[in-house]
Structure 1
Amino acid sequence: MAGLEGYDRHYGTRPIEPWEVGAAFPSKYHGREVIRPLDVPVVHPLAEDSPPPEDDLTVKRYVGLGCGLASLITENLLIHPFIVLRRQCQVNPSAVKYHLVPITLVPIIIRLHQTQGLNTLWKGIGSTLLVRGLTLAVEDLVSKITPWPKEITCNSSLRSFGQHLLLKCVSIGIVTPFYSASLVETVQSEIASERPGILDVFRDGAIRLLEVGNKGRLIPIYALLPPTIAYGVTKYLFTLIVRGVTSRIMHVRHKHSQQLRGAYSRDLVSESVVQDIELHSILVSMCAADIIFYPLETVIHRLHLQGTRTIIDNLDTGRSVTPLLTGYSGAIDCYRTIISTEGPFGLYKGFGSLILQFAAHVLVIRATKWILTELTGVMRPKAKTIKPPPLNYYNDI
């Protein structure tokens, strides 16, 4: 204010010292060392968007890839013995033991290994892999010579979805005779029949395709196409629906967990999280589809093996063999015959093997994830901690 330039500045009744006015503090005050206040930064962790270290994201990505590879190997190789047990139970109409729980299969597995060796439950593994590879090759070929898409997304049009289903129908129909030949190799007993060659599945499938007329109780391949295609396409649609719903639920749960922590993390849409959700949704959809369509699978397998003169292992004892003698006229007749002669649980023969298959699949994925996480934790270089120098608040005066 005008007229007050000559007055000293005061704080209350005490004159303001010069060192209190400036931003910087002097080092000496009345001949003594000044203790300066510490600069403590105020950090709000919830407001700070600090991304996780790049090394952690890389580790999570590789762990996800390793779990996906382990799931693929388990699905195609490691669970094959349980598939063999399941199919042998399904196609045997004269079996007394239904093996609805896993515990009843344990002594049977031991006896089979004692009488036939360690490789008795790995029969047909070559033909099974060849049929799966043939299915992928046929789908790829059909998608290239036709406008039908091999893959669809949630943004695909209704026309593309219909063309995709048509591609699935064509591929299943082409592979059906070879699937039938592979099924025979999977369930037939090795002590009562010759061991097939690696490529015999293509020869037997071609023979089955050319046998268009009725030959004894053998059902011609054109009569097997409608139920087989209906089973394959319906199961595929159910798998897609369950996979999409499961994936959506997992994304919502992950988002909700981020909200409970107080802030969204960049890991919400990271590649590692997407891989983990995709892996678990695929596993859940496969398990749900196998459980729901188990009775229909039993009917389809019995129709494929009728009239093939196949001799299978007797899983009531695990030490003998039994021939397959059935006379179904079609899928509906097979279903009604099973219900009337074997009861409703006859459609679920060998269900205990399916439980063992799921348990082994989950165990392999969990073990792989734990091992990879531990290995990456051990091999990761430890961060060097730098100790700050001690702060001398008081100096000698």
Structure 2
Amino acid sequence: MAGFGDFPGYYRPYTLDPNKESNDLYDTRYQQIYGYHTPVTEDFPGPPLVMDEVSDDETNAYVTTAISVASLITENLLSHPFIVLRRQCQVHNGLKNFHIVPYTLLPVVARLHRRQDVTTLWKGIGSTCIVKGLNMAVEDVVSKGTGWPKELSKCDSVLQFLQHITLKCISLAIITPFYSASLVETVQSDIASDKPALLDVFREGFMRLLEWGTPSRGRMLPIWAIVFPTVTLGVTKYIAHMSLKHVTERVLRFQQRHRHELSDSYNVNYTKNSPNPLIQDISLKASIFSFIAMEIVFFPIETIIHRLHIQGTRTIVDNLDTGTSVIPILTGYEGFMDCYNSTIAKEGVAGLYKGFGALVLQLAAHLAIIKLTTLVVSEISNLLKPAKSPTNSDDSVHSQQKYLFN
């Protein structure tokens, strides 16, 4: 029997290999157009495949990349003013207005800007970035020296997972003194103390490290008493973040597969492609959701640990009850549990959530920037997208049917 390619007027751009899995997508598209599966053979290759998804995938890839960059910049730079506010509230044990809701902070911030410089909420940003970079450098050095995996995705066994967690613990323990110095720069008032130099975080950090035993400054806790709760918080928060992210990814993939199956457009091979804009988008959404959840859940523990770090440093902070004065931080906690019990006894449970309104503002700004980035990149991609060719229109479908059956 002669093949369909022998008939005049038939358009035959290529022949599909019936042994390749990639034909499943072709077969799905053919079924949507004609209502039955195509017999993919040498003599019957079927009509040319219209890949409308290609341009959409490119658009999704641009949007996902832009959101990743915007989220990274927001988390490390644009969120810093809100971090300054929440930390100042957390370490101030005598604060009367707890600022649990965002709107109470707005008049205080306005007074701070009128009384001080416009950069008052950007103090300590240099040391904060230095500490984050130092953390990454320490992890890299320890990983290369021990062979332990630096990324969770490279852990193929329980032993490698334990090595990965141990690496995180070592890194957090090493940077704890420098984190204390950075925290002081973040919360201290600009009008009551000299502005620190960029590299002062190293000097102060090494001083805290040398005072491993009993410090020479008043009620300051020894660094060994702060390392354990700081490392515990960091590792627990990291494990919870990765676990919630993994669960969220599985849920989102299940929902995506279910929607595609209902629309008869799901293809198993499509979800296995790597890199894949769809998978990257799901991973990004899961990461953002997990980040927000962990910031909320661990906020009270962060409050206690920040108070332990700041104790005895003779730090003077802005009074966020008024926004026009300053106040020294004078505490005498003996450790984590003493700080927790004292806070509950004197300030109540709400005392653990001082500055929570600043966290709400931070997360709201984070989501707003991501949403704005998505809209802008999507509009730009649509404007730059080439016009659809005639083969993508409904007329092409009718012409394909005419070539086949006339």
- Give the TM-score taking structure 1 as reference length: 0.84
2:327 maps to 1:322: yes
> Equivalent residues in 2 for 1:241-390 (5 A)?
241-265=243-267, 268=271, 271-383=276-388
CA displacement at 1:165 relative to structure 2? 0.7
Q: How big is the alpha-carbon RMSD for the aligned residues of Structure 1 and Structure 2?
A: 2.3
Shift in Å, 1:55: 2.9
Structure ranking higher in helix proportion: 2
Shift of 1:267: 5.4
The code of the aligned residue for 2:198 comes to I
* Equivalent pair of 1:178/1:202 in contact (CA under 8 Å): yes
Contact 1:89 1:95 in 2 (8 A): yes
CA displacement at 1:273 relative to structure 2: 1.0
C-alpha displacement of 1:242: 0.7
Instruction: Tell me the percent identity.
Output: 49
Cα distance in 2 for partners of 1:256, 1:353 equals 38
Aligned-pair CA distance for 1:147: 2.3
8 Å CA contact retained: 2:95, 2:321: yes
How big is each residue's C-alpha offset from its partner over 1:242-294, in whole Å with a ceiling of 9 and x where there is no partner?
Answer: 11111111111111111121231465456111121111111111111111111
Rate the CA distance shift 1:47–1:320 in 2: closer, same or farther, 3 A: farther
**CA offset digits 1:321-367 (Å, max 9, x no partner):** 00000000000000000000000000000001111111111111111
| 1:211/1:53 CA distance change after superposition, 3 Å | same
Maintained 8 Å contact 2:149/2:155: no
CA distance in 1, matches of 2:58, 2:299: 40
Change (3 A) 1:380 1:207: same
Q: Could you tell me how far 1:383 is from its partner in structure 2?
A: 3.3
Q: Alpha carbons of 1:66 and 1:269: their partners in 2 closer, same or farther (altered >3 Å)?
A: farther
Q: Is the 8 A contact 1:267 1:273 kept in 2?
A: no
Between the aligned partners of 1:291 and 1:230, the Cα distance in structure 2 is 17
Match among 221, 224, 228 for residue 223 of structure 2 = 221
Give 1:206 shift: 0.6
Q: Compared with structure 1, are the counterparts of its residues 193 and 46 closer, same or farther at alpha carbon in structure 2 (3 Å cutoff)?
A: farther
Structure 2 distance, partners of 1:129, 1:63, is 26
Contact 2:63/2:374 (8 A) holds in 1: yes
2:382 partner letter: G
Aligned-partner Cα distance in 1 for 2:145–2:52:
46
Q: Which runs of 5+ in 2 are unaligned?
A: 1-6, 9-30, 39-48, 396-406
Deviation at 1:52, TM superposition (A): 3.4
Q: Residue 151 of structure 2 aligns with which residue?
A: 151
Structure 2 match to 1:11? none
Q: Which residue of 2 aligns with 1:189?
A: 189
Distance in structure 1 (CA, Å) of the matches to 2:359 and 2:193 = 26
Partner of 2:102: 102
Give the corresponding residue for 2:18.
none
Q: Distance in 1 between matches of 2:89 and 2:306?
A: 11
Measured in 2, the distance between the counterparts of 1:43 and 1:220 equals 73
Contact preservation (8 Å) 1:46, 1:263: no
Structure 2 equivalent of residue 391 of structure 1: none
Q: Distance in 2 between matches of 1:281 and 1:46?
A: 37
Question: How far did residue 85 of structure 1 move?
Answer: 0.4
Residue from 34, 55, 61 that aligns with 1:44 = 34
Shift of 1:204: 0.8
Letter in 1 for 2:291: M
Secondary structure of the 1:153 match is helix
CA contact (8 A) 1:46 1:262 kept: no
The code of the aligned residue for 2:239 comes to L
Higher Cα Rg, which structure: 1
CA distance in structure 2 between the aligned counterparts of 1:103 and 1:42, rounded to whole angstroms: 53
Q: Distance in 2 between matches of 1:70 and 1:47?
A: 44
Gaps of 5+ in 1: 1-22, 25-40, 389-397
Q: 4+ runs of 1 displaced by more than 6 Å?
A: none
Q: Distance in 2 between matches of 1:45 and 1:200?
A: 72
Contact 1:123 1:186 in 2 (8 A): yes
TM-fit CA distance, 1:214 = 3.2
